[in-house]
């Protein structure tokens, strides 16, 4: 439960600390005093979105901190352990900071955590029913969630959802194998031709570069031969470089032993001689291999033309062309085996449909049984809330559609991620009237009581220890307000309850009463909150009864209401 709330520089609150207790905590005050600001602050410390406009003017940072006793919420321990948050003494302190720059920080027991983790933790701590809760209850999409939550069917709903996703994936795979026969024939013919053409070309990686080089040499073969021949003649011919170097080598050899300096330079001459002899041999062999054949030139040009054509049709490089051939072979194999694959996938789909059908029907049966139980319990609560003659019904229907997945009773039904069922809460506010959608059948006051009835029934399945009701009394007064107060008081015996109210009948029921007020000091406005004593509570209830002028009669009436509440709940 929420033990303490500390707020600094948040909207109209500069520095505020509130100690909450077990039971029914009631907050009252004039309109605009700042009661809803407290709810916004609690929402923020639980991870709700914060914007910089909540930072009090003139300050750089807003801070909200909440102290929680989590001894009665065992489920939250695993969430905290996973996040590495130490909580050995059952005390959890959450803190939220927001800076005027837009940056913010979140902490749990001094460990900085992301807002997403703060939000996850907050879902297990407090359930807030704000002024928009009536709108949520009127939304049909929420009705299935409420019923499944009441029946504890979340796990089974998840299993059906997984089956739904599996079926979707299998159907997509089946679609990918489908191709009409004419298209299939055209594709097979094209791919077969391409593979055959590429295979006949017998392409070799990088051969186009080698061919271009050979083409250049062949085109200049006469010139190359002539120049090499001249070079070789100068190397090996009479009076050539090699013959003259040999004479030089012989001359130096005869005197090398006389002077070491000559011997050293002799090695250089010999090295040049050996190198030139190797070059001469290379040029001789090159001449012998040099091909002047016109037919070889034609072969090279034709091969280059073929390679260029293949690259133009199937890829920018020979590697691309060869990869295209491989991809085409794989596609051919896939097309040829598509019938077999489609049959296999179709069989898999049929089996998955049967598994899904069993789970979906089980889910529908459990929903139907739970709906009857929930209807009965809500009807009882509505009767207690002075709505006798009201009929509350849960409609569960399935949609027949030829495009559906689940066949039964000679019909095909649509399957949704949450099962077969379309669920809606219906209401007849008066005896003899037709059942209608909640938003059409219920007034604002009736919607408040329906929400409270559902909350009371669903309480056994809630893991949260604290419930907050903001303006739950909308549209009600008199005897009905007293009954709603009694219902909130009953809830507060099992959970910590915080209520913002304008009704004295509800305020009189409080175990702890807080008065919220707003005052102006200088050019600044401040929101204050005070925990009232019993006598101060009676005065506040009297104010709510009489308005601004508290009379002795209104105070006496308030005292009677408070005393009666204490006697009733003693």
CATH number at residue 516: 3.40.50.300
The verdict on 312 and 346 lying in the same domain is: no
What is the C-alpha separation between 558 and 564, in angstroms, rounded?
10
**Looking at the DSSP assignment, which residues form a beta bridge with residue 25?**
498, 512
Residue 345 falls inside a structural domain:
yes
The total number of structural domains in the chain stands at 3
Residue listed under structure tokens 């997984």: 162
Residues 16, 22, 72: CA angle, nearest 5 degrees: 110
Contacts of 562 (CB under 8 A, 6+ apart): 508, 534, 537, 538, 541
Residue 148 falls inside a structural domain:
no
Closest by Cα among 556, 562, 530, 399 to 29: 530
Residue 454 falls inside a structural domain:
no
> What are the phi and psi torsion angles at 311 (to 5°)?
-70, -35
The verdict on 212 and 93 lying in the same domain is: no
The verdict on 289 and 345 lying in the same domain is: no
The verdict on 188 and 319 lying in the same domain is: yes
Residue 4 falls inside a structural domain:
yes
Pair of tokens at residue 480: 């009905």
515, 529 contact by CB (below 8 A): yes
The verdict on 222 and 257 lying in the same domain is: yes
pLDDT tens for each residue of the chain, 570 residues long: 899 999 999 998 989 999 999 999 999 988 777 788 888 899 999 998 889 999 998 899 999 999 998 887 777 777 788 878 887 778 899 999 999 999 999 999 988 999 988 888 888 888 877 655 555 667 788 889 889 988 999 999 999 999 999 999 999 888 877 766 677 788 889 999 999 999 999 999 988 888 888 777 777 777 777 788 788 778 877 778 887 888 888 888 888 878 788 887 888 888 888 888 888 888 887 777 776 667 777 888 888 889 899 999 998 899 999 999 999 998 888 777 777 778 888 999 999 999 999 999 999 999 999 999 999 999 988 888 878 888 899 999 999 999 899 998 899 999 999 999 999 999 887 777 888 887 777 766 677 778 788 878 877 666 678 888 876 777 777 888 888 888 888 888 888 999 988 899 999 999 999 999 888 888 888 888 999 999 999 999 999 888 778 888 989 999 999 998 888 765
E strand or H helix that includes residue 107: strand 104-108
Closest by Cα among 86, 10, 108, 84 to 54: 10
- Convert 127-155 to b/e letters by CB count within 10 Å (16 or more is b): bbbbeebbeebbeeeebbebbbebbebee
Return the sign of the alpha-carbon dihedral for residues 290, 295, 300, 301: positive
The verdict on 215 and 109 lying in the same domain is: no
* Predicted local confidence at residue 445, as pLDDT: 66
Residue 9 falls inside a structural domain:
yes
The verdict on 558 and 474 lying in the same domain is: yes
The verdict on 277 and 346 lying in the same domain is: no
Q: What is the pTM of this model?
A: 0.62
Closest by Cα among 488, 516, 465, 512 to 41: 516
The verdict on 205 and 303 lying in the same domain is: yes
The verdict on 493 and 563 lying in the same domain is: yes
Residue 81 falls inside a structural domain:
yes
Contacts of 186 (CB under 8 A, 6+ apart): none
The verdict on 115 and 188 lying in the same domain is: no
- The residue segments making up the domain with residue 321 are 183-331
The verdict on 94 and 226 lying in the same domain is: no
């Amino acid at each position: 439960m929420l033990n303490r709330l500390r707020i600094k520089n948040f909207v109209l609150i500069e520095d505020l600390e509130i100690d909450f207790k077990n039971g029914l905590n009631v907050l009252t005050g004039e309109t605009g005093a700042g009661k809803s600001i407290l709810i916004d602050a609690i929402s923020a410390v639980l991870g709700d979105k914060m914007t910089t406009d909540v930072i009090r003017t003139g300050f750089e940072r807003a801070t909200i901190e909440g102290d929680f006793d989590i001894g009665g919420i065992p489920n939250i321990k695993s969430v905290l352990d996973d996040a590495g948050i130490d909580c050995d003494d059952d005390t959890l302190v959450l803190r939220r900071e927001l800076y005027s720059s837009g940056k913010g920080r979140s902490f749990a027991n001094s460990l900085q955590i992301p807002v997403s983790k703060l939000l996850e933790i907050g879902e297990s701590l407090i359930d807030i029913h704000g002024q928009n809760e009536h709108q949520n209850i009127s939304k049909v999409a929420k009705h299935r969630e409420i019923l499944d939550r009441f029946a504890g069917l979340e796990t089974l709903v998840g299993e059906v959802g997984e089956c739904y996703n599996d079926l979707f994936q299998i159907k997509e795979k089946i679609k990918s194998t489908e191709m009409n026969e004419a298209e299939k024939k055209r594709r097979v013919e094209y791919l077969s031709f391409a593979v055959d053409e590429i295979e006949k070309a017998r392409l070799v990686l990088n051969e186009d570069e080698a061919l271009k080089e050979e083409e250049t040499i062949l085109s200049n073969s006469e010139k190359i031969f002539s120049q090499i021949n001249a070079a070789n003649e100068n190397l090996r011919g009479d009076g050539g470089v090699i013959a003259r170097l040999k004479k030089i080598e012989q001359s130096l050899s005869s005197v090398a032993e006389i002077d070491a300096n000559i011997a050293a330079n002799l090695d250089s001459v010999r090295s040049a001689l050996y190198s030139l002899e190797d070059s001469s041999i290379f040029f001789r062999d090159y001449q012998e291999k040099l091909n002047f054949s016109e037919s070889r030139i034609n072969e090279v040009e034709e091969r280059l033309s073929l390679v260029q054509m293949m690259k133009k049709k199937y890829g920018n490089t020979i590697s691309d062309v060869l990869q295209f051939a491989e991809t085409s072979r794989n596609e051919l194999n896939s097309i040829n085996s598509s019938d077999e694959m489609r049959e296999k996938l179709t069989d898999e789909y049929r089996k998955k449909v049967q598994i899904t059908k069993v789970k979906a029907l089980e889910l529908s049966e459990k929903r139907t049984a739970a709906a009857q139980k929930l209807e009965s319990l809500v009807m009882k609560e509505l009767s207690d809330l002075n709505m006798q003659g009201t009929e509350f019904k849960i409609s569960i229907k399935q949609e027949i559609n030829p495009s559906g997945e689940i066949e039964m009773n000679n019909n095909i039904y649509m399957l949704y991620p949450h099962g077969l069922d379309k669920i809606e809460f219906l209401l007849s506010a008066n005896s003899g009237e037709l059942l209608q959608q909640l938003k059409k059948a219920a007034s604002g006051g009736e919607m408040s009581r329906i929400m409270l009835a559902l909350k009371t029934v669903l309480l056994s399945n809630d893991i949260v220890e604290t419930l907050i009701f903001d303006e739950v009394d909308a549209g009600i007064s008199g005897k009905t307000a007293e009954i709603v107060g009694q219902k909130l008081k009953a809830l507060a015996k099992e959970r910590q309850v915080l209520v913002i109210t304008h009704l004295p009948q509800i305020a009189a029921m409080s175990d702890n009463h807080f008065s919220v007020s707003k005052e102006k000091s200088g050019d600044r406005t401040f929101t204050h909150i005070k925990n009232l004593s019993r006598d101060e509570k009676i005065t506040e209830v009297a104010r709510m009864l009489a308005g601004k002028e508290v009379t002795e009669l209104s105070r006496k009436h308030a005292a009677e209401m408070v005393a009666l509440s204490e006697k009733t709940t003693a």
